Amino acid sequence: MDKLLVILRKPPYGTINAAEAVRHAGGASGGGYRATLYLMDGGVYTAKKNQDAGGTGFSSIGEDLEILSDEMEIYADKNSLNEYDLKEDDLIEGVKVDTGEVLRQALKESQAIMIF
C-alpha cells in the first residue's frame, strides 16, 4: 500500500491550507493510501480542542480531524506544541504527540509528501 505524508505547518485560520491538508489526507486515506497527517509549527492549532473560529470566516475543522483519526494517523510535533504553549491535553481525541521519530520514518517510507 502506498503511503502519503501530509505535513501541515500553517495555522487553521486565515488561509485554506489547513482545510486543504485535511481534505487531501482524508481523500488519500479513502482512496487506498495509508495517509499520515503531521501537524507542526502553527499547524498544531488545527488539533486544539474547542476551537472558536470567531469572525475569521472559516469553520472549525477539529471535528473532521476527530473523525479522520479513525481512518489515518494524525500526529502533532512535540516541539511545536511547546513553542505554541499547547499541552497534549489541549488536543482533540485521536491526535498523538511525536518527538520526531514518526516524522523521520514517514519521510523515509512515504511515496508522496505534501506540505501545506
Contact of 69 with 35, CB cutoff 8 Å? no
CATH classification at residue 85 = 3.40.1260.10
Report how far residue 74's alpha carbon sits from residue 39's, in angstroms, rounded to the nearest whole number: 8
Which pLDDT score is estimated for 56? 67
Q: Is 49 helix (H, G, I), strand (E, B) or coil?
A: coil
The pLDDT, as a whole number, for residue 68 is: 84
Query: For residue 31, what pLDDT is reported?
Result: 86
- pLDDT tens across 15-62, in order? 889 989 999 999 998 888 899 999 999 999 999 998 766 666 667 777
Contact 111, 3 (CB under 8 A): yes
Cβ neighbour number for residue 114 with a 10 Å cutoff: 17
Torsion 75-81-82-86 (CA) sign = negative
pLDDT at position 50? 84
> Cα–Cα distance between 70 and 100 in angstroms, integer?
22
Contact in structure between 22 and 38 (CB atoms under 8 Å) = no
Residue 13: all three cell numbers together:
485560520
pLDDT at 58: 67
| pLDDT tens readout for residues 65-96 | 888 888 899 999 999 999 999 999 999 999 99
Residue 58 to residue 86: CA distance in whole angstroms: 21
User: What total number of domains does the chain contain?
Assistant: 1
Q: Where in the sequence is the domain holding 9, given as residue range(s)?
A: 3-115
